[in-house]
């Protein structure tokens, strides 16, 4: 584990922020019916979340082995970013499923829902 806690915290914030941004970009792709592009971006988002999770896991392992760190507002802020990014990814994944349903039901020519 890196000794400088500020560096660790900012790595979590950065990775989480990038992950969240990629998830929103994936949603933009879906709105333009680019499901392949959306899934690619979600894959990248999950790689960044995994990076943040590994850092978080290291902090927890340090505490379990008796090397607890001082809880700071900055660490709490980093955890907030991490949790929000995970939830955004989950919601975007669910929204993609909804878009798939909606796009099947839309009459492209008239831009209306099928009634049958």
* pLDDT, tens digit, 9 for 90 and up, residues 85-100: 999 999 999 999 999 8
* pLDDT, tens digit, 9 for 90 and up, residues 99-113: 988 888 666 666 665
Which residues of the chain register pLDDT less than 70? 1-3, 105-116
Q: What angle do CA 91, 47, 7 make, to 5 degrees?
A: 105
Query: Is 77 an annotated catalytic residue?
Result: yes
d(CA 3, CA 55): 12
Q: Which candidate in 53, 77, 81, 114 is catalytic? A: 77
Q: Dihedral sign for Cα 105, 106, 109, 112, please.
A: positive
């Amino acid at each position: 584990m890196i000794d400088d806690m500020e560096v660790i915290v900012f790595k979590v914030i950065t990775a989480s922020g990038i992950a969240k941004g990629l998830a929103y970009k994936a949603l933009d792709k879906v709105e333009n019916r680019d499901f392949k592009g959306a899934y690619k971006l979600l894959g990248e988002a999950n790689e960044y979340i995994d990076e943040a999770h590994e850092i978080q896991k290291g902090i927890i392992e340090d505490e379990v082995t008796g090397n607890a760190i001082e809880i700071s507002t900055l660490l709490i802020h980093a955890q907030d970013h991490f949790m929000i990014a995970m939830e955004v990814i989950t919601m975007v994944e669910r929204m993609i499923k909804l878009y798939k349903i909606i796009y099947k039901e839309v009459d492209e020519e008239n831009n209306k829902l099928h009634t049958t």
